[in-house]
A = this chain, B = another copy of it.
């Protein structure tokens, strides 16, 4: 599972962590319903996650298109906007769970958060 933050929003560490967690929870619930056996294996193997960052929303949208082309599950996090950003702002794109080779093909060149 890869969680990609939108760097231009300059969120605090805590707010960033919450966006990443929102994405991870949504991807996990979807995966559990779609493929309980595969999801169980992923959790037993340490539910591997990595948090990355791209500069802009346009970068995130490009990643989403690449992921969809490879049939990697994706989810957008839209913030409720109570604190640091406007309501409905897209803050994070989550991808996976998927085989590392698939995720690397889409996000392998991006910097760590």
Question: Chain A interface (Cβ within 8 Å of chain B)?
Answer: 3, 5, 12-18, 20-25, 28-29, 32, 43, 46-47, 49-53, 80, 112-113
Contacts and interface: CB of A to CB of B under 8 A. Distances in A.
A90 to B, nearest CB: 15
Contacts of A47: 22, 25
**Residue in A18, A47, A52 with the greatest tally of chain B CB atoms within 10 Å:** A18
Contacts of A23: 21
B13 A113 contact: yes
Contacts of A32: 29
A98 B3 CA distance: 25
Contacts of A52: 14
Contacts of A113: 12-14, 17
A113 to B, nearest CB: 3
